[in-house]
Amino acid sequence: MQATSLESALRQFQAEARPRGRAGEPDLAGCLPAYLGDYAGLERVGELAPAHVWEFLLEWAPSALGLEAAEHVALTRRMRAFVDWLAGAAGIETLAGLADRLRALERDLGRCHQLVERFAVAREAEELSRPVTGVSEADEAPVAVLSGGAQRLVDLTRVDYAAAEADYFRVSRVEGQSAFLYTPERRQLGEADLGPVRLPAGAAELLRPDDILKLEVAPAASGWEILDVESVRPGGYE
């Protein structure tokens, strides 16, 4: 079945599994073909790899569909069922065991959406201000639900804006209400993790090691201050 077209396999899956969702939720058959053909250029079942699944769920779908938290989790659940069906019915060995990781992703997406909400609450409380919409590098489309953004209102005398750094940072560890961040490039150069980076209330409890945050930070008197947050996504799905 590896030579079968992905669209045919998806139609067969829909007919056999008959996955049902609530009204208004994104339908896998309604959006997955656009990613497979128009975006990723995939045609055959045997071409689908785990990296495509992560790209679809963590990059393409949030940007193209503007998913709410519950919709994002629902789409991930349907993709898990399809992947599980492909691994069994189609015998795609590269997808074997991926369903378990997709189940973990459902939980992590819920956590990251909560984290975005914490930034929004902090912004409304004037601890953070000015929303920033994340964009994809390819087409500058909004990153959508995993994006939330803010600019911290900080004492200009305490923050060295000239030394600000903007990058895709990964969480090394969380200590108290602060995080320590790194990038693979910094570690290759032997540089220490960046931190402590002060977090808004409620964020520390939701962050996990290797979560990926696209943000701008600047050194301050007692560590680092977050200037802008553009996107948040769970780590470990690559």
Instruction: Identify whether residues 92 and 132 lie together within a single domain.
Output: no
Q: What are 35-80's pLDDT values in tens digits?
A: 998 899 998 888 899 999 999 999 999 888 888 888 999 999 999 9
- Total count of domains within the chain: 2
Instruction: Identify whether residues 133 and 228 lie together within a single domain.
Output: yes
Instruction: Identify whether residues 227 and 142 lie together within a single domain.
Output: yes
CA distance 158 to 197: 14
Confirm whether 214 is domain-assigned.
yes
Q: Give the distance, in angstroms, between the CA of residue 171 and the centroid of all CA atoms in the same chain.
A: 14
CA distance 116 to 99: 26
CA distance 238 to 223: 30
Where in the sequence is the domain holding 48, given as residue range(s)?
6-96
User: Which residue type sits at 45?
Assistant: V
Distances (CA, A) of 152 to 13, 112, 122, 127, 162: 47, 20, 9, 6, 16
The reported pTM is 0.77
- pLDDT bin (cut points 50, 70, 90) of residue 151 is very low
Q: What are 93-130's pLDDT values in tens digits?
A: 788 889 999 999 999 998 988 887 887 777 666 554 33
